[in-house]
Structure 1
C-alpha cells in the first residue's frame, strides 16, 4: 500500500482539526497573579493516551553497519527525548550514511526520527521512500508531550564520552533547527516553564546552555505549593501538527510511503535501496535484537483546551503542558511495560495529583 499526496491531504485535514497553536509570546516572571489556574476535573478529560518510549540506559544508537552489500544506519533508542533530539540525531545519522552514497534511500519508520531523517535525506538531494507499519497519529511520537528538553534518555555511569559528544552535537543542531521552525505551520512555540527542583541554589545561579534565562524564583514570584521552582523559557512542539507537516513535506518533495512491517534484517536486506535507515524506535528491539532497549510507558490525560493557560509545569505532581487541542497532564515513566493502553488507576492518579497542585495555588489570576 502506498500513500500519495492526495490521500495524505484528506487524512491530515481531520488530524489537524482543533489543533491551533497557542500563543508564542513568553510570559514575564513578575508575579504569580499572571498565572491562571488549570481547571482539573474528571469531567474535563476529553481523551487518555499512552505511548511506549524506546529507552536505552546506554543512550540512543547512531551507528552504521554493513548488511551484505548494502548499508544500514541505526537511529533509535531516544527514550523520552525523541522529539527534542530528532533533528540532531537524524543529522548525525544522515551524515554517517550519505557520505559516498548514490541512488534512492530507504527509511524504516514514520515516527519523528523517520520523518526528520527522510527530510534531511531529501534536503541532501536523494530520493527517499519511507517503509512503516504505522502512520501518524498511530506512532509514539504523535502522542508525545513535545517539550524541547532532553529527559529520560540515558542513565548516569552507563554512557561513554563518545556518546556524550554525540548527544551534545545532536542537541545543538536540534535546538537550532526547532528555533527556525517556530510558528503556526509546524506547531512550535516558545513557552514559560516552571519546574520544581530540589537544588539548594540561589537566584540567578541556575544555568543551562539552552535555557540562559533560567533562574530560581522567590516564593512570592510563583503560586505553586512546592519549596523551590525554577523558571525558564523553552520550545514546545504540538506533535500532531508537526508530524502532519513533516509527512506532507516528504510527500511534496517527491517521497513515497509504503506500508510494510519488517520481521528481520533479511527483509531489510531485500529492499531495492542500497542504503536504509533504521528509525523503528521500540521496534528495533525485535528487528535488530537490541537487548538494552526497553519500553517505558508514558500515560497522558488530556483536558479540554484552556487557551488562557500559557505556561507549563513539571514536578512531583507530574507535568502539565498546554496545547491548542487540550491541556496535557502526564507523569508516568514505567519501565518494561509493553501495553500501550491507558490504565484507569494511573490516569486517576495523574488527575488527582494535578487537582491537588492547582487547588493549592497560593494566588490565581
Structure 2
C-alpha cells in the first residue's frame, strides 16, 4: 500500500474511535526519583509514556506469506440489479481494499434490491466478506438463503486482507469521487454502526486498537508507487470519533515524534468463523460449486441471486472494469502482549490475534497485477525493517 494512500486511510481510521486515550496500554509505574546521575534526561521517558511490548521481528518467526488481488473499479463497487434470462442478478462486488470495512452497508443495499424482486428464496454466489454479510442480512430480512461458492473460509481471498477498518481504501478513483461520495458515506456509516455492535463478543471478532505512526520523514523509504489517485472520503465521517494526537519526541518509546491514532481491527479468522456459524445456525445452506459462465447460474433453483464474487467477477461476468491491485503480507507468530499497530519505514504491523501481520507499502508494480506468487524476500526485508525500529525503542 502506497504511503499516500495509507495517510488518507489513516485520516479516516483516526477519526473513528470509541474512546480517547490509550487503549490497552499501561502507564509506567510510579517509582522513587533516581539520582540525576543515574540516567541522563535524554535516556528517560516522559512519566506518561506508554509501555509497548517489543515485536519479535525475526524472519524465522514468519509463518506464511500471503498475496491477494484487491478488486478495484475506478467508478466504485458495482451494486446494481441485472436481468439475465429468467434470473435477477444483484451485483455486489469491486470494493478494492474496503471489502470488510464496507461489507454491511454494501450488502444492505444489495439485499434491498433482492427483496424488491419479490422472491422468498435467494442464492448468494461467493463466501467472502460480501457474500457472508449479504447472506446474513438476507436471512434477517426473512428470506431463505443458500450460498454457492468454489471456496470457503479460510480459503477465500477475503481472509488475506489486513483486517483494518479502511472504508475508502482503493474504493474508487478521484475522478469518480463526486458521483460516488453519498453512496460511500451511507455504506460507511451503516457498517460502522454494525461493527460497534460486535465489540466485546467472544473471540474479539472486532476490537479497537491504538496505533503509532513514526513521523520523521528521514525514516521513510522512497515512495515509488505507480497506483492512481484514489478518492479520499475521510472528512465525510469525521464526526464519528476523535482525531489523532501528535506526541513529541520523548513521550513514547520511539526516538522520534509520533502520531497516535485509534482504529478498528477485524480478527478475521474469528470473525469469519462467527459469520459462518451464525449463517448456518439460522438454517442457511452452503453448496461448494464453481461457475465459469453466467449461464451456468440459470440451473440454480433460486430466481434471484446476489453476486458477491469479488475479483472472480472479472472472469465470471467478463467485467474488465475490475483491476487487480496486488497486495502481500507476512504473518508472524502471534504475540498477545503486542496490542498496538505500528506504522514506520514504509511498513505496517497489525496485531491480529491469529498472527502479527507485516505489510510493506510504497513499492511499484502492484496495480493491474494479478500475480499471486509470494515474494518472500520482499516480506523478509519488511520484517527486518521492523526489527530495526524495535532496536531503536527505549525502556520497553
The two structures have a TM-score, normalised by structure 1, of 0.84
Residue 364 of structure 1 deviates from its aligned partner by: 3.8
Match of 2:213 in 1: 195
1:177 aligns with 2:194: yes
CA contact (8 A) 1:59 1:154 kept: yes
Rate the CA distance shift 1:81–1:259 in 2: closer, same or farther, 3 A: same
Q: Unaligned regions of 5+ residues in structure 1, if any?
A: 1-23, 200-205
Match of 1:253 in 2: 282
Match of 1:140 in 2: 157
Rate the CA distance shift 1:37–1:180 in 2: closer, same or farther, 3 A: same
1:221 aligns with 2:245: no
Rate the CA distance shift 1:88–1:338 in 2: closer, same or farther, 3 A: same
Q: Unaligned regions of 5+ residues in structure 2, if any?
A: 1-21, 28-46, 218-234
1:98 to 115, 128, 133: 115
Q: Secondary structure at the match of 2:260?
A: strand
Residue 320 of structure 1 deviates from its aligned partner by: 0.6
**CA distance in structure 2 between the partners assigned to 1:107 and 1:225 by the alignment:** 51
Give the structure with higher Rg (CA). Answer: 2
Could you give the per-residue CA deviations for residues 316-336 of structure 1, whole angstroms, max 9, x where no partner exists? 432111122221111257222
Match of 1:336 in 2: 368
Q: Identify which range, 75-84 or 39-48, moves more after superposition.
A: 39-48
**CA distance in structure 1 between the partners assigned to 2:74 and 2:379 by the alignment:** 26
Match of 1:347 in 2: 379
2:239 to 192, 206, 209: 209
**CA distance in structure 2 between the partners assigned to 1:39 and 1:189 by the alignment:** 22
Residue 211 of structure 1 deviates from its aligned partner by: 3.8
2:354 to 322, 325, 330: 325
**CA distance in structure 1 between the partners assigned to 2:207 and 2:245 by the alignment:** 20
**CA distance in structure 2 between the partners assigned to 1:195 and 1:94 by the alignment:** 38
Rate the CA distance shift 1:198–1:25 in 2: closer, same or farther, 3 A: closer
**CA distance in structure 2 between the partners assigned to 1:313 and 1:96 by the alignment:** 40
1:282 to 292, 311, 325: 311
Q: Secondary structure at the match of 2:81?
A: strand
Match of 1:7 in 2: none
Could you give the per-residue CA deviations for residues 283-304 of structure 1, whole angstroms, max 9, x where no partner exists? 0111122212122222121112
CA contact (8 A) 1:46 1:302 kept: yes
CA contact (8 A) 2:72 2:172 kept: no
The two structures have a TM-score, normalised by structure 2, of 0.78
1:107 to 124, 127, 136: 124
Q: Secondary structure at the match of 1:117?
A: helix
Could you give the per-residue CA deviations for residues 210-257 of structure 1, whole angstroms, max 9, x where no partner exists? 441422222333334556x33222221110111111111111111111
Q: Secondary structure at the match of 1:208?
A: helix
Match of 1:292 in 2: 321
Could you give the per-residue CA deviations for residues 252-307 of structure 1, whole angstroms, max 9, x where no partner exists? 11111111111122122332211111100110111122212122222121112222
**CA distance in structure 2 between the partners assigned to 1:219 and 1:80 by the alignment:** 33
CA contact (8 A) 1:298 1:331 kept: no
Rate the CA distance shift 1:316–1:91 in 2: closer, same or farther, 3 A: farther
